Structure 1
Amino acid sequence: MKNNREKGTLSSLLEILMVSSRLGLTSFGGPIAHLGYFHNEYVRKRKWMDEKSYADLVALCQFLPGPASSQVGIGIGVMRGGILGGIVSFIGFTLPSVVAMITYAIILQGLDVGDVGWIHGLKIVAVAVVAHAVLGMANNLTPDLKRKAIALFALIGTLMWQTPFTQVGVIIISALVGFLIYRHHTDNNDPKIQFPVSNGFAVTCLVLFFGLLILLPILREVTSLNWIAMFDSFYRSGSLVFGGGHVVLPLLQGEFVPTGWLNKDEFLAGYGAAQAVPGPLFTFAAYLGAVINGWKGGVLATFAIFLPAFLLILGSLPFWDSLRRNPKIKGALMGVNAAVVGILIAAFYQPIWTSSILAPIDFAFAAILFSMLVYWKLPPWVIVVTGAIGGSLMALI
């Protein structure tokens, strides 16, 4: 029995690694697009979790600081294969872009990739993927007029007041509205989610998160070690960012350019590469670390900036299922899930639509890719390859 269980665990971990690595190689378009890719792969195709549980996990990760899409991927990996599953899921999704960014820093520094046609094609792929995800989530999470109204409020609020804390504010207000409207809701059909993480381990992770946030700046002041200063800057950036990868870029610029770790030209040289690679935008840290101290600096920077995301999601998951099933909390989560739909629609417009659909031909190509994905049921990697080829051909027109 033990050998069979070990084989089953190994098989699950290999499956998680295979699926997450494929997503890490093909998930272009930023954090909101990643949620669309995850929804298509983990919910629609593999059915590792149901729509409601996925939406609840997304809502939790939107509320936590850090890279939301990476935290969702870690959470799904934990649910599927325990803590090792979360680590394997993170490695598969993140490693391709980390390797690419370190390579850019060491070999291809200064390469202008901002206007390459295939990159524009991949941005249009993100339009099709996110549109598909938004439609599916809207059908399930906003079935009545009240929740549609909450989603509309979230959409307008997110678009009109674009600050790092807008999403958190919108979620809090939507939770309050949902609680007031649905506090007597009696639907108890939500499946129980099993998180193989103990409460004690979760509390340890949360204590470690806050402890490092306090201790690292102190160590930075009392020591003269560059690697501690570097670790502190990346850890703090990963801990205090709300709103996803795009928000962390100016924060990192403020940490490293004025202090002389690297110059503005070196910073901007990596920005185009960060937009060109798949996977989480937080791997821009790998580029910065590699510019500062070679590949070892890239590895250190990647570990430091993603460590808060790991600690927060592992510290929150064990308590999340009991909260989401509590009748007093359920109404609030119904409001939050509706708000997530609105936030996704807002992100679909800005920055995904506005940076991708620049001409009628772009819209026509997006419609083709959307049809391939939704109606012809072609796998996402086919959509990605088609988008890259189509973007290159359109650049020649």
Structure 2
Amino acid sequence: MHQIKKNKSYKSLIEILLVSTRLGLTSFGGPIAHLGYFHEEYVRRRKWIDEKNYADLVALCQFLPGPASSQVGIGIGVMRAGVLGGITSFIGFTLPSVIFLILFAVLLHGLDLGETGWIHGLKIVAVAVVAQAILGMGKNLTPDLKRKAIALFAMVGTLLWQDAFFQVGVILISALLGFFLYKQHSEREQPKMDFPISRGCAVFCLTVFLGLLILLPILKELTDLHWIAMFDSFYRSGSLVFGGGHVVLPLLEREFVPTGWLDKESFLAGYGATQAVPGPLFTFAAYLGTVMNGWQGGLLATIAIFLPAFLLIVGALPFWDTLRRDPKLKGALMGVNAAVVGLLISAFYQPIWTSSILSSLDFAFAAILFSMLVYWKLPPWVIVITGAIGGTLMSLI
């Protein structure tokens, strides 16, 4: 019996690794687009998590600092196979872009990837993927006029004031609106989210997160070790970022350019390359670490910037499931989920639409990709390959 359980566990881990690696190789377009890819793969195709629980997980990750899409992936991995599942999901989704960026820093420094046709094609793929996610989540999470109004408020607010902390404020206001509007709302009992993590383990993770945040700057001052200073800078950046990968750019620039660890041209070249690879934008740290200290520095920087996100999501999950099932908080969560739809629409316009749809030809190609995904039900990797080829051909016209 024990052997059967062990084999099942290994099988789950291998399955998580294969699926997350494929997502890591094909998920272009930034954090909001990643949520669209996850929704298609984990909710619609594999049914590893239902629509409601996925929305709740996304809502939690919007509250936490760090890369929201990576935390959603880790959370789904944890649901499937515990902490090891979360680690496996993280490795699969993150490692492809880490390898690309380390190789770029070592071998291809100075190559301009930002304006190539296939990159533009992949940006148009992100338009189709996010549009599909908005349709699916909007239908389920904003079924009545009150929630549609909350989504509209979130969309308009974040379009007019594009600030990460304002985004957190919008989510908090939406939670408050939901709490008062849906106090008397009766809904069928939500299915329990199965997170095989004890509260003791969760408390340990949260303690380690806070401990490192306090201890690393002290160690940095007490020692002259370059590795500790570097780990501290990346860990602090990963701990203090709300709003995803684009927001981490100014933080990292302040940490490393004025101090002379690398020049501004190298910094911007790496940021351009990061836009050209799939997976989370936080893997920009792999490029920076490699430029500063070789491939070992790249791996250290990657671990340091993602470690806070991992500790926070594993630490929050066991408590989150209890809180979200509390009748008093269900209304607040309904408001937050409606706000998430508004945030998706806002991000769909800026930066995804504005940086991708530059002509009527781009719009026509986006419509074709959207139809392939939504109506013909083709898998996302087919859409990605079609987007890359189409973008290359359009650049020749």
Please tell me the TM-score bracket, short chain as reference: over 0.9
Which residue of 1 is the match for residue 261 of structure 2? Answer: 261
Which residue of 1 is the match for residue 245 of structure 2? Answer: 245
Q: Give the total of aligned pairs.
A: 397
Which residue of 1 is the match for residue 230 of structure 2? Answer: 230
Between 141-150 and 248-257, the greater mean CA deviation after superposition: 248-257
Normalised TM-score (structure 1): 0.99
1:376 aligns with 2:376: yes
Alpha-carbon distance in structure 1 between the residues aligned to 2:294 and 2:265? 17
Structure 2 residue matching 1:113: 3-state secondary structure = coil
1:56 aligns with 2:45: no
Matched residue type, 2:170: V
Which residue of 2 is the match for residue 80 of structure 1? Answer: 80
Which residue of 1 is the match for residue 201 of structure 2? Answer: 201
Which residue of 1 is the match for residue 144 of structure 2? Answer: 144
Which residue of 1 is the match for residue 336 of structure 2? Answer: 336
Which residue of 2 is the match for residue 104 of structure 1? Answer: 104
Which residue of 1 is the match for residue 37 of structure 2? Answer: 37
Tell me if structure 2 keeps the 8 A contact 1:69–1:280. yes
Alpha-carbon distance in structure 2 between the residues aligned to 1:82 and 1:373? 31
Tell me if structure 2 keeps the 8 A contact 1:21–1:96. yes
**Structure 1 residue 188 displacement after superposition:** 3.0
Which residue of 1 is the match for residue 293 of structure 2? Answer: 293
> For each residue in 1:103-158, what CA deviation from the matched residue of structure 2 results, as whole angstroms up to 9, or x when unmatched?
00000001111100000000000000000001100000000000000000000111
Which residue of 1 is the match for residue 218 of structure 2? Answer: 218
Alpha-carbon distance in structure 2 between the residues aligned to 1:383 and 1:96? 19
Normalised TM-score (structure 2): 0.99
Tell me if structure 2 keeps the 8 A contact 1:185–1:327. no
**Structure 1 residue 45 displacement after superposition:** 0.3
For 1:62-73, list aligned pairs within 5 A.
62-73=62-73
**Structure 1 residue 19 displacement after superposition:** 0.3
Which residue of 2 is the match for residue 179 of structure 1? Answer: 179
**Structure 1 residue 393 displacement after superposition:** 0.4
Alpha-carbon distance in structure 2 between the residues aligned to 1:315 and 1:91? 19
Alpha-carbon distance in structure 2 between the residues aligned to 1:175 and 1:340? 11
Which residue of 2 is the match for residue 163 of structure 1? Answer: 163
> For each residue in 1:162-183, what CA deviation from the matched residue of structure 2 results, as whole angstroms up to 9, or x when unmatched?
1120111011000000000001
> For each residue in 1:260-306, what CA deviation from the matched residue of structure 2 results, as whole angstroms up to 9, or x when unmatched?
10000110111111000000000000000000000000000000000
1:306 aligns with 2:306: yes
Which residue of 2 is the match for residue 124 of structure 1? Answer: 124
Which residue of 2 is the match for residue 276 of structure 1? Answer: 276
Alpha-carbon distance in structure 2 between the residues aligned to 1:98 and 1:250? 20
Matched residue type, 1:154: A
Between 188-197 and 24-33, the greater mean CA deviation after superposition: 188-197
Alpha-carbon distance in structure 1 between the residues aligned to 2:232 and 2:111? 29
Alpha-carbon distance in structure 2 between the residues aligned to 1:96 and 1:32? 19
Matched residue type, 2:279: G
Matched residue type, 1:152: L
Unpaired runs of 5+ in structure 2? none
> For each residue in 1:225-280, what CA deviation from the matched residue of structure 2 results, as whole angstroms up to 9, or x when unmatched?
00000000000000000000010011111110000100001101111110000000
Alpha-carbon distance in structure 2 between the residues aligned to 1:375 and 1:364? 16
> For each residue in 1:334-355, what CA deviation from the matched residue of structure 2 results, as whole angstroms up to 9, or x when unmatched?
0000000000000000000000
Matched residue type, 2:243: G
Alpha-carbon distance in structure 2 between the residues aligned to 1:343 and 1:200? 34
Alpha-carbon distance in structure 2 between the residues aligned to 1:25 and 1:262? 28
Matched residue type, 1:287: Y
**Structure 1 residue 80 displacement after superposition:** 0.5
Alpha-carbon distance in structure 2 between the residues aligned to 1:164 and 1:56? 20
**Structure 1 residue 190 displacement after superposition:** 1.2
Which residue of 1 is the match for residue 23 of structure 2? Answer: 23
Matched residue type, 2:39: H
Tell me if structure 2 keeps the 8 A contact 1:137–1:341. yes
Which residue of 2 is the match for residue 192 of structure 1? Answer: 192
Alpha-carbon distance in structure 1 between the residues aligned to 2:161 and 2:188? 36
Matched residue type, 1:197: I
Structure 2 residue matching 1:287: 3-state secondary structure = helix
Alpha-carbon distance in structure 2 between the residues aligned to 1:161 and 1:117? 31
Alpha-carbon distance in structure 2 between the residues aligned to 1:47 and 1:167? 29
Alpha-carbon distance in structure 2 between the residues aligned to 1:99 and 1:47? 30
Structure 2 residue matching 1:165: 3-state secondary structure = helix
Q: RMSD between aligned alpha carbons?
A: 0.5
Matched residue type, 2:91: I
Which residue of 2 is the match for residue 14 of structure 1? Answer: 14
Which residue of 1 is the match for residue 389 of structure 2? Answer: 389
**Structure 1 residue 189 displacement after superposition:** 2.8
